Amino acid sequence: MPKDQPPAEAFLKDIFGFDSFRPGQGEIVEAVAGGENVLAIMPTGGGKSLCFQLPALMRPGVTVVISPLIALMRDQVRGLREAGVVAGALTSGNTPEETDAVWDALHDGSLKLLYLAPERLANAGTQRMLAEAGVSLIAVDEAHCVSQWGHDFRPDYLRIGELRRMLDVPLAAFTATADVETQQEIVTRLFDGQAPRTFLRGFDRPNITLAFQPKNSPRTQILSYAAARRSQSGIVYCGTRAKTEGIAKALRDDGHPACHYHGGMEADDRRHVEERFAREDGLIVCATVAFGMGVDKPDIRWVAHADLPKSIEAYYQEIGRAGRDGAPAETLTLYGPDDIRLRRAQIDEGNAPPDRRAADHGRLNALLGLAEAQGCRRQALLAYFGEKAAPCGNCDLCETPPELFDGTEAVRKALSA
């Protein structure tokens, strides 16, 4: 290795085995290693873990990593150990031997990364131990879990701010959730309102075509969309369980391999669909939003929404399941006045407190803004996530002038209803 090579690059190759940083990673690593407070927002799969794991090796002492899922923590610890890094986790899943080994490594100063389950922070013993352990950095993975208005809220995340004050060390927070309210909450709760250096990176998925259509006859529209994409794997997201079954049947009647998936099915049946989808080429799954977390198929060629998603974040996540392999993929979202009314009613009828409801309406309205956009949809979508972009040439509005497109009437009716 040449002498003048910066240490970050050396660790990147020697420890992690990567040739180069992904977009954004290099700057984030530099800021975190340099001891700045950082909030980094990168899409799922963007490579956030490296952005705290690598700086942890560059900083003195130990980095505490707070992460919401024991399985994820154990997975990262295993990966780090295989790479020769001294890392450990303190979670409820530990054997006494594992916990002893972590304590020993902490005491003899060899531990570089300590993964901590958030509920551990409530423990006075843990706090004392951390105060004496030579912590030089706190990394918070899935930092949106601190947001009380989000679905992943973890009350114990609220203790992280206290930990930061006690240890008085830099904190780096990572999330894939980019909306402004969540960002503000992260800044308030993790950084005491002192704006950290913020990185917002790479939300564009240029290989995915974006398109919206007013909903006329959803079943016919979905059938013709699928017919033009025969033998390609796709997902049809539906607003109700009944509709997943109805559309799956219509697709089968039309000669497609198709099945349905929703939260009302037995766990075994759901797993069966997940496995079939992963294995089989060209299967179409008609699903509610329950079909998500477990879907890790790289070659999904299209995603259609038979009904409008509940928010712009949900839309981005759901279309984002297409084309993970980077090859061209297409999406179509249908929407009409009934969708808008239904989504509004769902927000209003929920038990959420008023400011949460206001935020949910905001996220739905942002999606309606996208549905009604007059210019490039990707530009509008990325602008929501804080990114500037030129017109993409890969959305329906870039391809077809907006004058020819009339979805506005449906929305106007709904708004005045």
Residue ranges in contact with ligand ADP by CB under 6 A: 18, 21-22, 25, 42, 44-50
- If one asks whether residue 392 binds Zn ion (CB under 5 A), the answer comes out as yes
**Residue in this structure with the two tokens 């020697």, named with its chain if needed:** 14
Residue 172 binding: pick among Zn ion, Mg ion, ligand ADP, none (C-beta 5-8 Å cut-off by kind): none
Q: Where are the alpha helices (DSSP H) in 215-323?
A: 218-227, 241-253, 267-279, 312-319
Size of the site for Zn ion (CB under 5 A): 5
Nearer to Mg ion, 140 or 208 (CB): 140
Question: Partners of 90 in the beta sheet?
Answer: 116
Closer Cβ to ligand ADP, 77 or 306, answer by number: 77
Can you read off the two tokens belonging to residue 245? 């079954």
Q: How far is the CB of 392 from Zn ion (least distance, A)?
A: 4
- Choose the stretch contacting Zn ion; rule: CB under 5 A; options: 214-222, 321-329, 347-355, 389-397: 389-397
Tell the smallest beta-carbon distance from residue 46 to ligand ADP (Å).
Answer: 4
Q: Which does 395 bind (CB under 5 to 8 A by kind): Mg ion, ligand ADP, Zn ion, none?
A: Zn ion
Q: Is the CB of residue 140 less than 8 Å from the CB of residue 174?
A: yes
The site partner of 392 among Zn ion, Mg ion, ligand ADP, none (C-beta below 5 to 8 Å per kind) is Zn ion
Question: Which strand (E) or helix (H) includes residue 237?
Answer: strand 234-237
**Contact between 70 and Zn ion (CB under 5 A)?**
no
Q: How many residues bind Mg ion (CB under 5 A)?
A: 1
Q: Which does 229 bind (CB under 5 to 8 A by kind): ligand ADP, Mg ion, Zn ion, none?
A: none
Asked if 313 and 177 count as a contact pair (C-beta separation under 8 A), the reply is yes
Q: Return the DSSP state at 118.
A: G
Taking the least distance from each CB to ligand ADP, the nearer of 143 and 306 is: 143
**In the numeric block, which tokens belong to residue 298?**
């790289």
| Segment interacting with Zn ion (CB under 5 A) among 93-101, 120-128, 245-253, 392-400 | 392-400
Residue 210's SS3 state is strand
In residues, how long is the chain? 417
Structure tokens at 250: 């219509």
Regarding 382 and contact with Zn ion (CB under 5 A), the answer is no
Candidate list 58, 62, 380, 395; residue touching Zn ion; CB under 5 A? 395
Q: Please, which residues have CB within 8 angstroms of residue 282's CB and are 6 or more apart in sequence?
A: 230, 231, 232, 233, 256, 257
- Burial of 209-230, coded b for 16+ CB within 10 Å and e otherwise, reads bbbbbbbeebeebbbebbeebe
User: Between residues 323 and 407, which has the closer beta carbon with respect to ligand ADP?
Assistant: 323
Quick check: 370 and 339 in contact, CB under 8 A?
no
- Interaction partner, residue 238 (ligand ADP, Mg ion, Zn ion, none; CB < 5-8 Å by kind): none
Nearer to Mg ion, 48 or 297 (CB): 48
Q: What is residue 334's three-state secondary structure?
A: strand
Q: Which of 376, 380, 382, 411 is the binder for Zn ion (CB under 5 A)?
A: 376
**Is the CB of 46 or the CB of 336 nearer to ligand ADP?**
46
| Residue number, 202 or 239, with CB nearest to ligand ADP | 202
Token readout for 62 is 């130990």
Contacting positions for Zn ion (CB under 5 A): 376, 378, 392, 395, 398
